[in-house]
Chains A and B, each alone.
Chain A
Amino acid sequence: MKTKISTSLIVFLQCTLILYGVILEESASAGEQDKLGGLGFSDRIGLFPEIPGWKKTDTMDTYDRRSLYDHIDGAAKLFLSYDFEALQLVEYQRDDSASVVVEIYRFQTPLHAFGIYSQERPLKGKYLKIGVQAYLEAPILNFVVGNRYVKINSFGLGKDADRILHTFALTIAVKIGGTTSLPAALAYFPLNGKKPNSEKFFAKDLLGYEFLCSGYTADYVDDNREFQLFLIEGTHSDDCLEMLKRYLQLAKSGQKIIKEGQYDIKDPNYGEMSLFWKGKTICGVLNLADRDKRMKYTIQMEGLIK
């Protein structure tokens, strides 16, 4: 019993020291300095905490927009389109040759960090509240916090993998800081029928159309029928007007007068779809044949949009 208490006390003290260190460094660091561009102050001091029982390797690999390709090959293109800024990579090693590799990708905004995370998260996964959100699929744990997307990959952790990955993620998330909230626009998607964790943010070319800007999608199920809702937030209503005009051109719609409201479009790639334009927002429904149901969902979204 005495041994257990002593062990618990040591673990408690270690955690306290880690958090204390985190708080001290947070007071001096992070987001504001990143605005300087390149590798900012927070990068220089390092976001990689000491983890009891683990030793960091002496070197830290860093990549910027030009060199990211060297690390992840062609996947770099996607990251660059999400305004990737820098990547740092550190490996932790344990005496038994187990290792944990931590990659911290920094993006221009938290929304872009969430965007790339949303493209890579699985529909079915073990989700955790770390930072904005994390998912755990041992041997990996990935999460997003602030403008960082963190990937933790492990080797040889055995049965303790979940616990160790969790510890790493929690400690790193606190050290990075920044927002832990999902993008506000996700609240415009109705809850009924929505598949959990299916929301995605696209940095550009929403729906695969170059005339559309960035936007969100989410997957839904209604009567066993799968379909998608999407949302575009323009900077002002003229943006939306222009995008809508281009969309109608694509669909070869003869409609000339464009005003706010509901539109039914025969999309050459998605088939019958509906969208609703209001101010600087466009929302819509794809892959749902039943027009009444499409109407139902666009009306719901319209109601949720402020």
Chain B
Amino acid sequence: MKHDERNHSRRAFLSKSIKGMVAGGIFGKFTGNALSFNLEDKKAEAEKEIICRTLGKTGIKIPVVSMGVMNASLPELVRRSYEIGIRHFDTAAVYMEGQNEEMLGYTFKGLGVRDKVIIGTKIFIPHEQRGMSPEKVKEIYLRVANESLKKLQTDYVDILYSHSVNDLKWLNHPGILEALQLLKKQGKARFIGFSTHSNMADCISDATRSGLYDVILTMFNYTLWDDQSLLNALKNAHLKKIGLIAMKTQCPQYGGHWKDVPSSKLPYYEGKMMHAAVLKWVLRHPFITTAVPGYTTFQQMETDFAVACDPEYTEEEKKFLNDKNMNLSLGYCRQCGECAKQCKNSVDIPTLMRVHMYAECYNNFYHARQTFDDIPSNQSLNSCASCNQCSVHCTHGINIVNRIKELQAIYG
């Protein structure tokens, strides 16, 4: 009963994580009652257990929710984030033309908490200017890193990234590697890493092989739920103890995904529900140490950080993630039924695609199994097993054959 073992394993793991137990050395916890709070009515928050994970071989243990500072310009938002328990703050030299780092440095200096926070910053050279000589690239990296330290009002950053690495040439660029390693040797960067927004699987796999980077900041969100090459690359990197941090976790907020949704319903799709549900989806992957949602309001901060204490989906969030419009925006199976018409064995492919979604996307193996069991046996995977030439083509681009194979691995 392979599926039962997998089911049990995942569910047990999640259950343990939610209770804040240390599972296999991945999770840790702390209560925030040692933190300083300015206001009496905030003390209750501090008693909640915050789930922490260790960032690969760096040994840094941080809450699973961090702050992506990039679009925030309010020192009070950073201060309040620190007060509620956030310890890892992600910025970059280019964010707000350096004002983002400046604000962060100003705030931490005022709070006097530099030694209690983890600061990650990034060095970026625009893609169209990456043809420079290695010497020039190294010079720019060293100059920008030193400017960042000045703006952050610190002698070191905890993680220094090469920003926006989307190809292996830039990943292994000698100028960048020399600069980062020199900065690490000088103690100006405790750990080095890279951020990646596209071609992630290749970059992560290569970095896993080379072992040159300590941390990878990768785009990771529910729209990538069926990207097996990325998921495998992340799992392998995690096994090699490379710290993995997720960014762009709440991608629908960048707009443009809801063109078919009436404007009156947009608050539902872009609001609190979306932020929490999709952030939970990311953090339910144990190879991700922490996420850096880029919040800009106190309400968003509270919504995001609440996930650090309870990543279990609520019933409403499950409903939201199953919402037809959500699925339309994700490239999920639209349940249009066109595939079923093409199958000469009359397999109930739409339902099998739902089973796949429940299992792989939501990790809800219980519901997946229930749905799977409801399919008549002559329309289920048995019929697929006798067919070696699947000619079914999804008009929306879903790789049905792959998903069927994955289901066969679980339920076959």
Q: Mark A residues whose CB is within 8 Å of B.
A: 61, 65-66, 69, 72-78, 80-81, 89, 91, 99, 101, 119-123, 140, 142, 153, 155, 200, 205, 207-210, 268-271
Question: Which of B42, B68, B73, B132 has most A Cβ within 10 Å?
Answer: B73
B218 at the interface (CB under 8 A from A): no
Q: Return the 6 tightest CB-CB contacts between A and B, nearest first.
A: A120-B97, A78-B71, A208-B297, A120-B96, A205-B297, A208-B298
Interfacial chain B residues near A99, Cβ < 8 Å: 129
Please state if B39 and A101 are interface contacts (CB–CB under 8 Å).
no
- Kindly count the residue-residue contacts between A and B in the assembled complex, taking CB atoms under 8 Å apart: 82
- Extra A-B contacts (7), CB below 8 Å, given A73-B197, A78-B71, A101-B126: A76-B254, A119-B96, A120-B96, A120-B97, A121-B97, A208-B72, A210-B300
- A208 pairs with B77, CB closer than 8 A: yes
Q: Indicate whether A65 sits within 8 Å of B256 (C-beta atoms), given known contacts A74-B68, A205-B297, A271-B38.
A: yes
Q: Is the CB of B310 closer than 8 A to any CB of chain A?
A: no
11 A-B residue pairs with Cβ-Cβ distance under 8 Å, sorted by A, are: A74-B68, A74-B248, A75-B70, A77-B71, A78-B71, A120-B99, A208-B76, A208-B296, A268-B41, A269-B77, A269-B298
Min CB–CB distance A34 → chain B (angstroms): 21
Contacts of A269 in B (CB 8 A): 76-77, 80, 298
Tell me the nearest residue of chain B to A200, going by C-beta: B73
Chain B, 197-213, contact with A by CB distance < 8 Å: what is the 0/1 string? Answer: 10000000000000000
Contacting pair B254 A209 (CB below 8 A):
no
Interface string of B237-269 (1 = CB under 8 A from A): 000000000011000011110000000000000
Question: How far is B129's CA from A89's CA once the two chains are assembled, in angstroms?
Answer: 13
Is residue B299 contacting chain A, with contact meaning CB distance below 8 A?
yes
Chain B contacts for A91, CB-based, 8 A: 128
The answer, yes or no, to whether B294 is at the interface (CB within 8 Å) is: yes
Question: B380 on the interface (CB 8 Å rule)?
Answer: no
A101 to B72, CA, bound (A): 26
In whole angstroms, how far apart are the Cα atoms of A66 and B248 in the complex? 15
Select B254's contact among A80, A142, A155, beta carbons within 8 Å.
A80
Task: Say whether B95 faces chain A, with CB atoms less than 8 Å apart.
Answer: yes
Contacts of A122 in B (CB 8 A): 97-99, 102
In the complex, what residues of A have CB within 8 A of residue B298's CB? Answer: 208-209, 269
Measured between alpha carbons, how far is A89 from B126 in the docked complex, in Å? Answer: 12
B interface with A by C-beta (< 8 Å): 38-39, 41-42, 68, 70-74, 76-77, 80, 94-99, 102, 126, 128-129, 132, 164, 197, 247-248, 253-256, 294, 296-300
Nearest A residue to B253 via CB reads A77
Shortest distance from the beta carbon of B256 to any chain A beta carbon, whole Å: 5
Query: How far, in whole Å, are A75 and B90 apart by their CA atoms in the complex?
Result: 13
Q: Are B71 and A101 in contact (CB under 8 A)?
A: no
Residues of A within 8 Å of B254, CB to CB, are: 69, 76-77, 80
Considering only CB atoms, which chain A residue lies closest to B99 in the complex?
A120
Main SS at interface, chain A? mixed
Interchain nearest-CB distance for B335 vs A (Å): 26
* Nearest-Cβ distance from residue A84 to partner chain B, whole angstroms: 11
**In the complex, A66→B129 CA distance in Å?**
23
When distances are taken between beta carbons in the complex, the residues of chain B under 8 Å from A207 are 74, 76
C-alpha gap A77/B256 in the complex (Å): 12
- Looking at the assembled complex, report how far the CB atom of B140 sits from the nearest CB atom of chain A, in whole angstroms: 9
CB nearest neighbor in B for A97: B132
Contact present for A119 and B99 (CB under 8 Å): yes
A209 touches B256 (CB 8 A): no
For B197, the chain A residues whose CB sits under 8 A away are: 73
**Smallest Cβ distance from B219 to chain A, in angstroms?**
9
CA distance A69 to B294 in the complex (A): 14
Residue of A whose beta carbon sits closest to that of B164: A73
Which of B76, B95, B247 has the most CB atoms of chain A within a 10 A radius of its CB? B76
Q: Quick one: which of B42, B102, B247, B296 contacts A205, CB cutoff 8 A?
A: B296
Provide the residues of chain B in CB contact with A205, threshold 8 Å.
296-297
Closest to B72 in A: A208
> Which residues of chain A are within 8 angstroms of B164 by Cβ–Cβ distance?
73
Shortest beta-carbon distance from B46 to chain A in Å:
14
A144–chain B nearest beta-carbon distance, Å: 13
Q: Closest B residue to A117 by CB, please name it.
A: B97
| Complex CA distance for A301 and B245, rounded to whole angstroms | 45
Chain A min CB distance to B254 (Å): 6
Asked if A61 and B128 sit within 8 Å, CB to CB, the answer is: yes
* Complex Cα spacing A69 to B39, Å: 39
B294 & A77 in contact (Cβ 8 Å cutoff) = yes
A210 to chain B: which residues have CB within 8 Å? 297, 299-300
Residues of chain B within 8 A of A69, CB atoms compared: 254
**Alpha-carbon gap, A74 to B77, bound state (A):** 19
Q: A210-B297, A268-B39 are in contact. Are A66 and B256 (CB under 8 A)?
A: yes
Given contacts A74-B294, A269-B76, contact A101 B99 (CB under 8 A): no
Shortest beta-carbon distance from A199 to chain B in Å: 13
Q: Which residues does chain B contribute within 8 Å of A140, judged by CB atoms?
A: 97
Residues of B within 8 A of A61 (CB): 128
State the CA gap A208–B78 with chains docked (Å): 11
How far is B301's CA from A208's CA once the two chains are assembled, in angstroms?
10
Q: Which residue of A lies closest to B80 (CB)?
A: A269
Among residues of A, the one whose C-beta sits closest to the C-beta of B70 is A74
Residues on A with beta carbons closer than 8 Å to the beta carbon of B73: 119, 200
